[in-house]
């Protein structure tokens, strides 16, 4: 435990000496939204974070991306990590990109999964998420839209169960943070190697979002994954892990 952030730590002193990989989950998620293959990547030190109020972390969460960036940077300081590769899914991608813009000396590279330069939330969903009575309804909608049609039901059911464990006000705060986020005009100012991963059937952050990131971020590589939606890393864990490992090896 470090401050309000609970985390997993794989690799320790056995890693190759490369900058560590820090995994940042999306709205209403936790470190378990990253597959074990990636959280336990051989030859690298990998941290999986539970943002405040998520997973096993205490706290009330944030309502801005900048607020979450401050939490992550404080955690880096507490761990004595000078520079890291930040991997972010959806809202986590917004946090990672904002960190690269605000604290460029702390970020060695970016891995952006199912995310975009802005993350508008459907107005009806945003409004309904503020009503605890409609919490299960909202979770059902979000989970339904998060996976491709080919995803095994047990994976979807587990994701739904985990999201329901998050406080309704935390998820609403995450949606508020995403809805306010827009760095489209700043993307060319991201000057670190960047891997962009997107499931071809992503309905929450569609392919055009990933293509826009690739067009605007100078040193970027776009990797599309078939048969996967927004939760691409849970749907196709081996492909995602392979792409990440190749990218880390190129840094």
pLDDT digits 0-9 by tens, 70-110: 999 999 999 999 999 999 999 999 999 999 999 999 999 99
What pLDDT, on a 0 to 100 scale, did the predictor assign at position 224?
97
Mean pLDDT of the chain: 93
Q: What pLDDT is attached to residue 2?
A: 42
Domain membership flag for residue 45: yes
CA atoms within 13 A on the CB side of 149: 1
Read off the CATH number of the domain in which 194 is found: 3.40.50.1820
- Is 99 a domain residue? yes
pLDDT of residue 15: 59
Residue indicated by tokens 């952030």: 5
Residue closest to 214 by CA, chosen among 232, 229, 228, 195: 195
CA distance 168 to 193: 36
For 37-68, write each residue's pLDDT tens digit.
999 998 899 999 999 999 999 988 999 999 99
Alpha-carbon gap, residue 133 to 140, rounded angstroms: 13
Q: Looking at the DSSP assignment, which residues form a beta bridge with residue 8?
A: 48
Q: Is the pLDDT of residue 18 over 70?
A: yes
> Where does the pLDDT of residue 245 fall: very low under 50, low under 70, confident under 90, or very high at 90 and above?
very high
**Are 235 and 149 within 8 A, CB to CB?**
no
In a domain, residue 71? The reply is yes
Contact 213/187 with Cβ under 8 angstroms? yes
54: containing domain: 6-250
Q: Tokens for 135?
A: 């919490």
Edge to edge, the sheet with strand 6-10 lists: 6-10, 46-50, 21-24, 84-89, 107-113, 194-199, 220-225
Position 220 pLDDT exceeds 80 = yes
- pLDDT at res. 16: 60
Tally of domains in the chain: 1
In a domain, 1, yes or no: no
What is the per-residue pLDDT across 151-175, written as a single tens digit (0 to 9) for each?
A: 999 999 999 999 999 999 999 999 9
pLDDT confidence of residue 14: 58
Mean of pLDDT values over 6-31: 86
Query: What is the reported pTM?
Result: 0.95
């Amino acid at each position: 435990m470090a401050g309000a952030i609970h985390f997993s730590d794989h690799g320790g002193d056995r890693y190759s000496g490369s900058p560590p990989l820090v995994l940042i989950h999306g709205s209403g998620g936790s470190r378990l939204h990253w597959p074990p293959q990636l959280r336990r990547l051989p030859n690298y030190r990998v941290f999986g974070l539970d943002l405040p109020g998520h997973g096993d972390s205490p706290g009330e969460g944030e309502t801005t991306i900048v607020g979450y960036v401050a939490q992550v940077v404080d955690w880096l300081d507490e761990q004595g990590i000078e520079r890291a590769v930040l991997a972010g899914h959806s809202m986590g991608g917004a946090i990672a990109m904002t960190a690269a813009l605000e604290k460029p000396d702390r970020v060695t590279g970016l891995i952006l999964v199912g995310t975009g330069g802005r993350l508008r939330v459907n107005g009806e969903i945003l409004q309904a998420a503020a009503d605890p009575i409609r919490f299960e309804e909202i979770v059902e909608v979000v989970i339904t839209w998060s996976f491709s049609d080919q995803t095994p039901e047990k994976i979807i059911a587990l994701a739904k169960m985990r999201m329901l464990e998050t406080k309704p006000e935390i998820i609403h705060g995450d949606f508020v943070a995403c809805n306010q986020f827009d760095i489209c005009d700043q993307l060319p100012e991201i000057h670190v190697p960047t891997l962009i991963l997107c499931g071809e059937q992503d309905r929450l952050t569609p392919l055009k979002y990933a293509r826009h990131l690739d067009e605007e971020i100078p040193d970027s590589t776009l990797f599309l994954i078939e048969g996967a939606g927004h939760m691409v890393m849970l749907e196709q864990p081996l492909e995602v892990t392979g792409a990440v490992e190749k990218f880390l090896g190129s840094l």
